[in-house]
Amino acid sequence: MAPNKKSSARVAVVTGAGSGVGRATVHQLAALGWTVALVGRRAEALKETIQLAPTGTRKRLTAFPCDVGAATAIDAMAAAVLKKFRHVDVLVNGAGINIPQRSLSVLSRADYAAVMSANINGALFAVQAFLPGMRARGAGTIVNVCSDAGKKASPKAGAAYVISKFGMTGLTQSINEEERQNGIRGCCIFPGDINTPILDKRPVPPPPEARPLMLQAEDVAACVVFVASLPARALVEELMVRPTRAYVPVPR
């Protein structure tokens, strides 16, 4: 696809835009003047993300409901995004799920498939959908919101989630090995615990007093914006971010 020379707008696609880090990323990019395509399974959640944005930025936000785990749905979404905006500068893969029954002893094949579909298949499909346009422009940034579980396995994350996040680490490395000469760069962000609704899926959710000490969605979104805003010649391949203070339960 030929670049649209008449458009100077910076365009980002954010998956998982209906909540958590995805929603915070949408709001921060829009506040900086970016045009943002919001992608997620639930149309109502995307609508809420737009409604929660400051009034002056909402005109830059467009929802594209899509099941990121379905390749055909991703392709249709990408076609719709490119038809409307003509190009995409940044893809943020922020969609992700986990399941309560996550240890190896109880992990079902259906749950495993669901986690892999949302967490890594969706990221790969989105990358493949937008790469041709980025190659044609000779520029593009892909930010994969991973987890510290993509560096080291953790029982609290569970096997399926860990496998999917290690896959996202490998996907990012593959982007840089294969595409950096085309002007396309990939960054994998590895957050520690984030205070988002996914924590409620843990077999034992963290207590309320622990959550203020965790990373907040806005903290990780700021990392995404930092990476996306760097000069094109600069590549941050990996970014690890953790809470400054650890939660220590008070003995009872």
Instruction: Give pLDDT, residue 203.
Output: 83
- Host domain of residue 35: 11-241
Instruction: Give pLDDT, residue 252.
Output: 63
- Classify residue 90: in a domain, yes or no: yes
Instruction: Give pLDDT, residue 5.
Output: 42
Q: Is residue 168 within 8 Å of 188, Cβ to Cβ? A: yes
Domain count of the chain?
1
112 is catalytic: no
- Classify residue 29: in a domain, yes or no: yes
Instruction: Give pLDDT, residue 179.
Output: 98
Instruction: Give pLDDT, residue 200.
Output: 84
- Classify residue 252: in a domain, yes or no: no
> What CATH number should be reported for the domain holding residue 32?
3.40.50.720
- Classify residue 135: in a domain, yes or no: yes
List of the chain residues with pLDDT < 70: 1-8, 250-252
- Classify residue 250: in a domain, yes or no: no
Q: Residues 18, 21, 106, CA angle at the centre, nearest 5°?
A: 85
Instruction: Give pLDDT, residue 221.
Output: 98
Separation between Cα atoms, residue 151 and residue 190, nearest integer Å: 8
Separation between Cα atoms, residue 113 and residue 142, nearest integer Å: 24
Q: Is residue 118 within 8 Å of 98, Cβ to Cβ? A: no
- Select which of 125, 130, 161, 166 is catalytic: 161
Instruction: Give pLDDT, residue 4.
Output: 39
Q: What is the pTM of this model?
A: 0.93
- Classify residue 2: in a domain, yes or no: no
